Amino acid sequence: MSAMAQGTVSLDSCRAMALSNNKELRQHDVKIQAAGYQRKEAAAAYLPSVDLEAMYMYNSRQLALVDKDQMLPIKKFSLEKQGYEYDLVVNPMTGEPLQVGGQYVPSSVALLPKDALTYNIHNVFAGALTVTQPIYMGGKIKAMNEMTRYAEELARSMRDSKVEEVIYNVDAAYWQVVSLKAKQKLAESYVNLIEALDRDVQAMLKQGVATRSNLLTVDVKLNEAQVDLTKVNNGLVLSRMLLAQVCGLPVNTTFTLADEDRENVATGLRSTDVDINNVWARRSDVHSLELATKIFDQKAKVTRSEMMPTVAAVAAAHLTNPNTYNGFENRFGGAFSVGAMVKMPLWHWGGLTNKYKAAQAEAVVKRLELDDAKDKIQLQVSQAQFRYQEALKTYEMTKANLAKADENLRMAQVGFKEGISTTDDVLTAQTAWLKANSEKIDAEIDVRLCDVYLSKVTGTLCK
């Protein structure tokens, strides 16, 4: 913004504004934070988990262990038999235990009244503090930690890809403005040339050495040149709006670019020699695919852990009211427990095995995608190198053509003043001069854009 206050903005300033104002980059920043939280969540699985549970329940009825009073027969110790025997009623006539309805009749019983076995459970309170420590989970916890770590790196890599895209769009919009500004100056120069010729033809018409047809021909060319200038002016305004929008500024923001008045923008360019291995190492999309491959490898390990035994230690302290440890009395009573839990999958009709094979297949697909992406990137780099070299050759040819067009225009103007060349000759030379200048501007900008594209495909745009 300080550069804008001074009236000029450089390409680096435009890049900085675009990166600081881009909303999609802010979204990627939040995704990186979310991935970091997920990584910390996975790391917490190594540590014991502590849970507190509390419960209250109202029951409409009491709990009775028996439906009515119970009378239980008792035993007495027999000295003769040296053991306990039921105390039964003996028939005095026969001396045998008395039976009523096929059942022996005890001489004494223990009374268990129903009221004594009925408990008040209208209000039930319970609470438990549980500690669980994973001991072995089949490698699942380690694989999940690796997955979340790679996922965080993947989020950063995707942000880097978005940064490259933003910078590339800024550069394209920036050089488009520079191109249209140069073409605006060219169109103004062309209008000035035709206006000068129009004045000369008008003077010659007054002297009788030119015809009305000559003047009309020049006027038509002048109108065409003014229309072209209007189109260029409108295009320049729209391109400035696009650049402002890409930079995250209001579209009506006006500022001057540092390269608008440069005579030659195709300078300070790069060499086209690249090492494809270094390109793969720098490309964020390749890095993203490599991370995706690692994530799917870990996903397969997580699936495999479902086929492995799991071991966990558990400790708990719990309270209940009524006290289940002391006759359901209406007061809190508690205890603690310590134990271990082992789970061993035995037979799932091949379901777990097929699930693991499917996860492995997904990992293989990601590796194939990575190899395919590397092949396409190699082709992309080769095409970018070819385009860049062709743009340089075209630029050199346009410079030579412009020199010839300048000389041709000079000779036509001199010949016209001396009466050797006609009005059509001068107009033809001016048109050729306009075309040569326009082609040179296009070639310059094309060289610059090809340079930016080559930087993008080789992974050096943000370096």
Q: Beta strand 99-100 with 103-104: parallel, antiparallel or unpaired?
A: antiparallel
Q: Which domain holds residue 128?
A: 49-64+123-136+309-344
pLDDT at 169: 94
Whether residue 332 is found in the same domain as residue 390: no
| 108 domain-assigned | yes
Question: What integer pLDDT is reported at residue 118 of this predicted model?
Answer: 85
In this structure, are 211 and 314 located in the same domain?
Answer: no
Identify the pLDDT of residue 246: 93
Q: How many domains does the chain have?
A: 3
- Do 224 and 89 sit in the same domain of this protein? no
Residue carrying the six token digits 């006290």: 323
Is residue 325 in a domain? yes
Residue 463 lies in a domain: no
- Let me know whether 76 and 217 are in one domain: no
Does residue 300 lie in a domain region?
A: yes
Query: CA torsion, points 181, 183, 187, 189, in degrees to nearest 10?
Result: 80
Asked if residue 251 and residue 107 are part of one domain, the reply reads no
Co-location of 82 and 191 in the same domain: no
Shared domain for 369 and 442, answered yes or no, is yes
Coil vs helix vs strand at 59? coil
Kindly state whether residues 223 and 360 are assigned to the same domain. Answer: yes
pLDDT for 265: 67
Q: Is residue 117 part of a domain?
A: no
Whole-structure pTM value: 0.80
Residue 444 included in any domain: yes
Give 246's contacts (C-beta < 8 A, 6+ positions apart). Answer: 14, 18, 166, 169, 170, 173
State the greatest distance between any 2 C-alpha atoms of the chain, in Å, as a whole number.
173
Q: Does 361 map to a domain?
A: yes
Binned average pLDDT, 10 residues per bin, the chain of 463 residues:
61 92 94 95 93 92 85 80 78 77 79 84 91 92 94 94 94 94 93 91 85 89 94 95 93 87 68 82 92 94 92 92 83 90 91 92 94 94 92 92 94 87 89 94 92 90 75
Judge if 383 and 431 occupy the same domain.
yes
From 288, 321, 344, give the residue that closes a domain: 344
The per-residue pLDDT for 58 is 92
Q: Is residue 294 a part of any domain in this protein? A: yes
Phi, psi of 363 (to 5 degrees): -65, -40
Claim to verify: residue 216 and residue 174 sit in the same structural domain: yes
CATH code: domain of residue 294 = 1.20.1600.10
| pLDDT at residue 267, as a whole number | 65
